[in-house]
Structure 1
Amino acid sequence: MKAIMNSFSDAVKIIPDGATIMVGGFGLVGIPEGLITALADSGVRNLTVISNNCGVDDWGLGLLLRNKQISTIIASYVGENKEFERQVLSGEVEAQLVPQGTLAERIRAGGAGIPAFYTPAGVGTLLAEGRETRMFGGKEYILEHALTADFSLIRAARGDRMGNLIYNKTARNFNPMMASAGKVTIAEIEELVEIGSLDPGSIDTPGIYVQSMIVGEQKKRIERLTTHTK
């Protein structure tokens, strides 16, 4: 049986200043909205954040940026956030940009206990400067190190009391791999069900990776709304 938290503030109060956190989601899809908002309200500082992107200016991880709670971010895409751009250019935040596939594999490797791997992504670019490389089959590869975190904040559609999780379609994105790569994983879920209610063959994240859960509705904001009028 996993801990079911009564409030988002209680769920994140174990995260201290200087922690490294992974945050699931792609754009605004599948992000743990309530946990991020509670973390913004907590005032915790000097965070290292590992995420595909950094939200938008007024939502998601953009809330932490606005409060200047992030010192370092490891991400693959930050183009939707002007405040992030400003803080990087001013030196307020350190940004480590990683090719998206490489970022996903570094997280997956961390969860699998694989310390490093070689990839061809980035060879011949600025990313390869000063990096260890090796030839395999006549092709050059860059050494990449796995990523792990003190805490992983993820979002799932359904979870049972043992912590087994199912994600909704594309909300799987980075959530399953981050669940396995955090020392402590906190899952924000839309629906809590009893043990045995989930089809074992449909479970995306086994409960062994999850330490606590909290139930909360999502606003599910649209990152970039495009409309068409005739």
Structure 2
Amino acid sequence: MDKRIPSLAEAVADIPDGATVMIGGFGGSGAPIELIHALIDRCLATGSPRDLTVINNNSGNGHVGIAALIEQGMVRKMVCSFPRSADPRVFTEKYLAGEIGLELVPQGTLAERIRAGGAGIPAFYTLTAYGTDLAQGKPVAEFEGRQYVQERWLKADVALIKAELGDHHGNLTYRMAARNFSPLMAMAAARTIVQVTQVVAPGGIDPEHVVTPGIFVDGVVEVANPAQEEALNRANAVYPEVEA
């Protein structure tokens, strides 16, 4: 029941080539920067993992986090709502060069597809995207005189998420808006790895305050002072750092 992992390197050590990886965060809010960078470090050292499918709200900003993952050529396909955000140059260049794929999903549909994956619901119908290019090739059905598009669940091999507190059993709380997609992703992945700002002993989190129960979590690693994507980008950070 003790799900603590001693290092970031060990936390990402078992992610294979070709994996589908859900990464928490809404822009920089709740983005597990240290876990992403540990995955890059592993790839630089061993050549793996590559050919990843990454599911996130957006496709990264600047040259850190998900953008750095893409820049290192580790991502085969992005599944997201906002491929063009504050500074999407890395994804844009790769996409225009034909080096990365994109599945564009409306934001509410993205959240519901992930929720459906965690709830064991293979498909559902929604009004969103009916009559647009995003509905092409998808089944359509009429309910109460309106047309609805069928959307399939989203599941993942691994979820990498960020939380505020985690106990030894993997019970989690989040810091305000940093919660966003993470509870849904924890439920929809076969394996969920979490970086937490503080690990507390069992009983250190009021049961009434637990957002993600430990049954959905496979490992927690403490990162006491997590980086914030926006702060890194304001400092023009690049990961990995380029030696002068």
Report the TM range for the smaller structure's normalisation: over 0.9
AA at the equivalent of 1:219: A
Inter-partner Cα distance in structure 2 for 1:213 and 1:154 = 10
Shift, 1:23, TM fit: 0.3
| TM-score for the superposition, normalised by structure 2 | 0.90
On the 8 A contact 1:2/1:213 being kept in 2, the answer is: no
On the 8 A contact 1:2/1:211 being kept in 2, the answer is: no
**Percent identical across equivalent pairs?**
44
Q: Among residues 226, 230, 241, which one is paired with 1:222 in the alignment?
A: 230
AA at the equivalent of 2:55: I
Shift, 1:149, TM fit: 0.3
Shift, 1:221, TM fit: 3.4
Match of 2:242 in 1: none
Match of 2:75 in 1: 70
- What does the per-residue CA deviation read over 1:123-166, in whole Å, with 9 as the maximum and x for residues that have no partner? 11111122210000101000000000000001000011111000
RMSD of the TM alignment (CA)? 1.2
Match of 2:134 in 1: 127
Q: Which runs of 5+ in 1 are unaligned?
A: 226-230
Q: Which runs of 5+ in 2 are unaligned?
A: 44-48, 235-244
Shift, 1:219, TM fit: 1.6
- Indicate the larger mover: 102-111 or 57-66: 57-66
Match of 2:51 in 1: 46
Shift, 1:89, TM fit: 1.4
Shift, 1:57, TM fit: 2.5
Asked if 1:56 is matched to 2:64, the reply is no
Shift, 1:36, TM fit: 0.2
Q: Among residues 146, 158, 161, which one is paired with 2:168 in the alignment?
A: 161
- What does the per-residue CA deviation read over 1:170-229, in whole Å, with 9 as the maximum and x for residues that have no partner? 01100000000000000110011111111111111000000111000212232786xxxx
Structure 1 runs (4+) deviating above 3 angstroms are none
| TM-score for the superposition, normalised by structure 1 | 0.95
On the 8 A contact 2:60/2:91 being kept in 1, the answer is: no
Inter-partner Cα distance in structure 1 for 2:199 and 2:167 = 6
AA at the equivalent of 1:181: A
Inter-partner Cα distance in structure 1 for 2:228 and 2:125 = 36
